[in-house]
Amino acid sequence: GSLIAYVEANTNNGVKGHVAHADAITSNDAHGIASSPVVPKKKKVVLLGTGWAGMSFLKNLNNPTYEVEVVSPRNFFVFTPLLPSVTCGKVEPRSIVEPIRNIIRKKNVDISFSEAECFKIDSENKKIYCRATINSNSKGEEEFLVEYDYLIIAVGAQVNTFNTPGVEENCHFLKEIDDAQKIRKNVIESFEKASLPNLSDEERKKILHFVIVGGGPTGVEFAAELHDFVNQDVVKLYPMVQHFVKITLLEATDHVLNMFDKRITNFAEEKFGRGGIDVKLGSTVTKVGDNEISTRARGNGGPTSTPYGMVLWSTGIGPRPLIKEFMKQIGQGNRRALATDEWLRVEGFDNIYALGDCATINQRKVMEDISEIFKKADKDNSGTLTVKEFQEIIDDICERYPQVELYLKSKQVRNIFDLLKEAKRDAAKESIELNIEQFKSALSTVDSQMKNLPATAQVANQQGAYLAKCFNRMEECEKNPEGPPRFRGTGRHRFHPFRYRHLGQFAPLGGEQTAAQLPGDWVSIGHSSQWLWYSVYASKQVSWRTRALVVSDWVRRFIFGRDTSGI
């Protein structure tokens, strides 16, 4: 006779409260004798967000000693890498979303879901304030609060407009499934509009001028999708307007796909150039009006305005208001994302985790710690250490900070190891001393190499899985810690720190050609990589249902072409 109560309480500010958990309640048995329940208190985990990080956490969590409440304004997960394919009808929107309840019903963990957004985090009192996103009214009646023992923040990020005038009002974004549907409708409507009688050629040109701002993977992929759509379907369905179509890609820096290998960047720029996509490099957008987009070219500086029909804004991401507010509250100021340690805990908190696009592992602290390690080792303050001491330090650093190890192995700092090897070859190896400053300057190269992890699904997915595994083994690892020795304090950390494994990246370039950059700087561009792309994205689907839908959409498009109905 016991029960875990889920109590609704009214708090003094009128916001309804979901109390985290109630202690086990004693009940009387049939003879009126109180039985003594020994029900362990379930720890309440509150998860914010059902994107890549949140979904991956839920899929991998299998410890039934937690009670999990998921809060997210959308009750489904979106497979974002296929969003560009939705914009021109290659894949249907429903094929790339998975209802979150489908994921949680298969779990042996007590998980509930609330369709709401969190608007405030009260870390002192361990509660969050939420607002329902369905049928919200202005009286605040749909506001409620949720208490937590552990809070996992995985709310992603929002589009960054850099406060450019007119962007919010006049541009499309490509972040959510609604965005992709709106773009698809707008693209089709543009062709219908341009096909109406009584329009001048100038008007048709304006309507069919598609501008993409930002030469990152999303902008490039959308440009490629649109170009394919024009070449494969528009030529058959709208032959009379096909020659009015113009696709312009504006990029503020010197190249598109900056995060990719030079070979891919060059190939993409040349391919787009040959295909008639106007790639304007070094071009910064200063304003987006109702009908015209204003740009400033680097160098000659003069502003130019060009009429457009549709603009896609895809220039990167910034923090959501909830995260900005929380960072202010906890003294993290104006950062790009919430700073965490290598165990994904928000700096200064033991029970708040942040992962995915809303978080970043603080590398500055890592370098401070490494400097400390050197200082400690140099007991006689001579500025030199023996080879053996150096070797021990390297092992220590690599154990504490796996991400450093990754960069220590990179080409730029290989000379450190050469130095060590040379010294070791010497017969009097133990007596040889190496200069700390020399070593430190090599490590500062490591520092500049240790850029923040990219804001990708790959990182978010791995972080969600890592954190779930930590939660699965929390009790076990509390008793037998398996992590590295604590730097400040005694004993070991409970867990190994998060280690990112880069599996490579793709850039679909249209015409059934994809650029693939795989680990070890292995680059492949062409039709074979396109098949690799199809197989990777089919295998990465979160359910057999979406896998079947996506593959059947691809087959349908091969046989019948894209669906061009404007619904």
Identify which range of 227-235, 339-347, 352-360, 545-553 contacts ligand FAD by CB under 6 A: 352-360
Q: What whole-number distance in Å separates Cα of residue 562 and Cα of residue 553?
A: 9
Contact positions with ligand FAD (CB under 6 A) in 312-351: 320, 322
Element holding 475 (H helix, E strand): helix 474-479
Nearest distance from residue 174's CB to ligand FAD, in Å?
5
Contact positions with ligand FAD (CB under 6 A) in 495-534: none
Site string for ligand FAD, 139-168 (x = CB under 6 A): ---------------xxx------------
- Count of H-run helices and E-run strands, the chain: 19, 27
Which CB atom, from 157 or from 208, has the smaller least distance to ligand FAD? 157
Site string for ligand FAD, 191-220 (x = CB under 6 A): ---------------------------x--
- The neighbouring-strand residues paired with 118 are 130
Chosen residue from 18, 20, 42, 50 binding ligand FAD by CB under 6 A: 50
Chosen residue from 84, 214, 219, 319 binding ligand FAD by CB under 6 A: 84
| Residue at token pair 């996509």 | 277
| 209-213: strand order across its sheet | 278-281, 246-251, 209-213, 310-313
Nearest distance from residue 315's CB to ligand FAD, in Å?
12
Are the CB atoms for 121 and 349 separated by under 8 Å? no
Q: Assess 53 for contact with ligand FAD (CB under 6 A).
A: yes
Are the CB atoms for 293 and 311 separated by under 8 Å? yes
Contact positions with ligand FAD (CB under 6 A) in 99-128: 117-118
Comparing every residue's Cβ against ligand FAD, the nearest one is: 51
DSSP 492: B
CB atoms within 10 A of CB 320: 19
- Closest CA relative to residue 118, chosen from 147, 91, 98: 147
Nearest distance from residue 200's CB to ligand FAD, in Å?
35
SS (H, E, C) 477-490: HHHCCCCCECCCCC
Nearest distance from residue 269's CB to ligand FAD, in Å?
20
Q: Assess 88 for contact with ligand FAD (CB under 6 A).
A: no
Q: Assess 18 for contact with ligand FAD (CB under 6 A).
A: no
Q: What angle do CA 524, 530, 536 make, to 5 degrees?
A: 95
Which CB atom, from 54 or from 166, has the smaller least distance to ligand FAD? 54
Q: How many chain residues are in contact with ligand FAD, going by CB under 6 A?
A: 33
Q: Which amino acid is it at 238?
A: Y
Chosen residue from 357, 387, 393, 453 binding ligand FAD by CB under 6 A: 357
- The shares of helix, strand and coil residues in the chain, as percent rounded to the nearest 5, are 40, 25, 35
Q: Assess 69 for contact with ligand FAD (CB under 6 A).
A: no
Identify which range of 140-148, 223-231, 355-363, 480-488 contacts ligand FAD by CB under 6 A: 355-363
Q: What angle do CA 404, 406, 412 make, to 5 degrees?
A: 90
Q: Assess 49 for contact with ligand FAD (CB under 6 A).
A: yes
- Closest CA relative to residue 43, chosen from 128, 150, 154: 150
Contact positions with ligand FAD (CB under 6 A) in 270-289: none
Which CB atom, from 84 or from 166, has the smaller least distance to ligand FAD? 84
Are the CB atoms for 529 and 506 separated by under 8 Å? yes
Q: How many CA atoms lie within 13 A of 309 on its CB side?
A: 24
Which CB atom, from 174 or from 311, has the smaller least distance to ligand FAD? 174
Identify which range of 15-23, 73-81, 89-97, 557-565 contacts ligand FAD by CB under 6 A: 73-81
Site string for ligand FAD, 444-483 (x = CB under 6 A): -----------xxxx-x-----------------------
Are the CB atoms for 219 and 213 separated by under 8 Å? yes
- Closest CA relative to residue 318, chosen from 170, 195, 168: 168
Identify which range of 75-83, 136-144, 331-339, 555-563 contacts ligand FAD by CB under 6 A: 75-83
410: Cβ contacts below 8 Å, ≥ 6 apart: 449
* Assigned token pair, 388: 């053996």
Nearest distance from residue 226's CB to ligand FAD, in Å?
14
Are the CB atoms for 157 and 127 separated by under 8 Å? no
Q: Which positions lie near ligand FAD, rule CB under 6 A?
A: 48-54, 71-74, 80-81, 83-84, 117-118, 154-156, 174-175, 218, 320, 322, 356-358, 455-458, 460
